[in-house]
């Protein structure tokens, strides 16, 4: 096996994109992040491939402090690949403490990590990736969807912090949240559901690919839950996005039955289970 560390993200993209696009929706996270790297969104990033006789066996990408994204293309060699890549990552002192991958691959990575490092691992989140091609007819709540503006910055920042807390994510520093929300607004990515002049729910579009786009950051104010606002906003936003894209994708936490139920009502169907593993180092 050959370990390749890519210094030029455009050359990396040229090498891996043909394989990633074979299952564009399934690999939309890596494709979207790769596109953001090319646009200069991330100051720090690391990109690697594992190859053998000219064949791609695995693709790795990380934008610290986010999790390492790990895609195994040769499943019959999954354990061998994990045992090959982990020492390289450790030797290079790549700063990551989490790994995200298709469930089986993430679990195998975690098991081999324990064998190699004698450190513990834990499952932080079991996720499911959904795809939508057509929005179902769903009962729409009262109100309207509108684009977030700079006047909404304080509200979006407050909900960003609340979303992280409720999801169990590590708290982002205030300046990071401010920068992320500012970018959402400037790129016209963030949307609200508004009822009688009051915003009750938000969502955003992110990580566009050639044919698809992701819906994320779906959050409803605690005092407005149970009224169907999130379902309505996701349906309306997805319908809007399908005007220019062929499909939408969306990740959920499998331990949240409400979100998994409402997204399927809108028309999202599962295409992959993924796992987010936290590693002791």
| Statement: residue 280 has pLDDT above 90 | no
pLDDT score of 238 = 98
Lowest mean pLDDT among 8-12, 57-61, 256-260: 256-260
In this structure, the answer to whether residues 100 and 166 fall within a common structural domain is: no
Q: What is the pLDDT of residues 169-201, one digit of tens each?
A: 888 889 989 999 999 999 999 999 999 999 999
Percentage of the chain modeled with pLDDT above 90:
86
pLDDT score of 76 = 87
Q: Looking at 104, 127, 150, which one is the last position of a domain?
A: 127
In this structure, the answer to whether residues 100 and 35 fall within a common structural domain is: yes
In this structure, the answer to whether residues 26 and 143 fall within a common structural domain is: no
Given a contact cutoff of 8 angstroms between Cβ atoms, the answer to whether 263 and 97 are in contact is no
> What CATH number does the domain containing 72 carry?
3.40.630
Mean pLDDT along residues 250-272: 91
In this structure, the answer to whether residues 101 and 148 fall within a common structural domain is: no
| Statement: residue 220 has pLDDT above 90 | yes
| Statement: residue 116 has pLDDT above 90 | yes
Could you give the strand order of the β-sheet that contains 55-62, starting from the edge strand earlier in sequence? 2-6, 46-52, 55-62, 68-72, 98-102, 269-279, 121-132, 247-253, 212-220, 198-206, 190-195, 144-147
* pLDDT, mean over the chain: 94
Coil vs helix vs strand at 146: strand
> Is 277 domain-assigned?
no
| Statement: residue 97 has pLDDT above 90 | yes
Give the CA-trace dihedral at 30, 239, 189, 31, to 10 degrees: 10
> What CATH number does the domain containing 202 carry?
3.40.630.30
Given a contact cutoff of 8 angstroms between Cβ atoms, the answer to whether 275 and 106 are in contact is yes
Q: Looking at 93, 127, 161, which one is the last position of a domain?
A: 127
pLDDT score of 254 = 87
| Statement: residue 236 has pLDDT above 90 | yes
> Is 258 domain-assigned?
no
In this structure, the answer to whether residues 218 and 174 fall within a common structural domain is: yes
| Band of residue 255 on the pLDDT scale cut at 50, 70, 90 | confident
In this structure, the answer to whether residues 138 and 182 fall within a common structural domain is: yes
> Is 261 domain-assigned?
no
Mean pLDDT along residues 112-128: 93
Q: Looking at 78, 105, 127, which one is the last position of a domain?
A: 127
The tokens describing 273, both together, are 């289970």
Domain that holds residue 214: 134-245
pLDDT score of 171 = 83
pLDDT score of 46 = 98
In this structure, the answer to whether residues 15 and 107 fall within a common structural domain is: yes
The tokens describing 281, both together, are 């180092």
pLDDT score of 41 = 87
> Is 262 domain-assigned?
no
What is the number of domains present in the chain?
A: 2
The tokens describing 174, both together, are 């205030």
Q: Give how far the C-alpha of residue 251 lies from the chain's centroid of Cα atoms, to the nearest Å.
A: 7
State how beta strands 247-253 and 212-220 pair: parallel
Per DSSP, what are the bridge partners of residue 131?
249, 269
Percentage of the chain modeled with pLDDT above 70:
100
Q: Report which of 20, 79, 13 is spatially closest to residue 47, judged by C-alpha positions.
A: 13
**Which residues have a Cβ under 8 Å from the Cβ of 205 and sit 6 or more positions away?**
189, 191, 213, 214, 215, 216, 237, 241
Mean pLDDT along residues 89-105: 94
In this structure, the answer to whether residues 113 and 139 fall within a common structural domain is: no
Give the Å distances, CA to CA, from 174 to 8, 40, 106, 278. 31, 21, 30, 23
pTM above 0.85, yes or no: yes
- In angstroms, rounded to a whole number, what is the distance separating the alpha carbons of residues 83 and 75? 13
**Which residues have a Cβ under 8 Å from the Cβ of 201 and sit 6 or more positions away?**
192, 193, 218, 219, 220, 221, 224, 229, 230, 232, 233
> Is 279 domain-assigned?
no
In this structure, the answer to whether residues 144 and 195 fall within a common structural domain is: yes
| Statement: residue 64 has pLDDT above 90 | yes
> Is 57 domain-assigned?
yes
> Is 107 domain-assigned?
yes
| Statement: residue 115 has pLDDT above 90 | yes
> Is 268 domain-assigned?
no
Q: What is the pLDDT of residues 4-56, one digit of tens each?
A: 999 999 999 999 999 999 999 999 999 999 999 999 888 899 999 999 999 99
In this structure, the answer to whether residues 77 and 53 fall within a common structural domain is: yes
In this structure, the answer to whether residues 53 and 121 fall within a common structural domain is: yes
In this structure, the answer to whether residues 44 and 140 fall within a common structural domain is: no
pLDDT score of 225 = 93
């Amino acid at each position: 096996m050959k370990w390749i560390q890519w210094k030029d993200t455009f050359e990396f993209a040229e090498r891996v994109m043909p394989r990633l696009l074979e299952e564009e929706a399934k690999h939309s996270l890596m494709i979207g992040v790769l596109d953001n790297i090319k646009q200069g969104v991330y100051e720090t990033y690391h990109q690697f491939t594992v190859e053998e006789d000219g064949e791609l066996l695995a693709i790795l990408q990380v934008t610290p402090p986010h999790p390492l994204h790990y895609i195994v293309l040769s499943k019959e060699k999954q354990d061998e690949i994990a045992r090959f890549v982990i020492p390289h990552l450790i030797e290079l002192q790549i700063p990551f403490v989490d790994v995200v991958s298709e469930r089986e691959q993430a679990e195998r990575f975690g098991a081999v990590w324990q064998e190699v490092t004698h450190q513990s691992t834990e499952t932080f989140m079991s996720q499911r990736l959904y795809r939508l091609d057509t929005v179902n007819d769903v009962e729409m709540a009262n109100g309207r969807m509108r684009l977030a503006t700079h006047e909404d910055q304080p509200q979006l920042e407050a909900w960003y912090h609340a979303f992280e807390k409720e999801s169990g994510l590590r708290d982002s520093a205030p300046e990071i949240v401010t920068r992320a929300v500012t970018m959402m607004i400037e790129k016209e990515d963030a949307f609200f559901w508004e009822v009688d002049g009051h915003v009750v729910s938000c969502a955003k579009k992110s990580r566009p690919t050639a044919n698809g786009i992701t819906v994320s950051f779906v959050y409803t104010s605690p005092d407005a839950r149970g009224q169907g606002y999130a379902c309505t906003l996701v349906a309306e936003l997805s319908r809007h996005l399908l005007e220019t894209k062929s499909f939408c994708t969306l990740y959920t936490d499998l331990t949240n039955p409400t979100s998994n139920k409402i997204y399927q009502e809108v028309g999202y169907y599962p295409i992959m289970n993924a796992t987010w593993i936290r590693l002791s180092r």
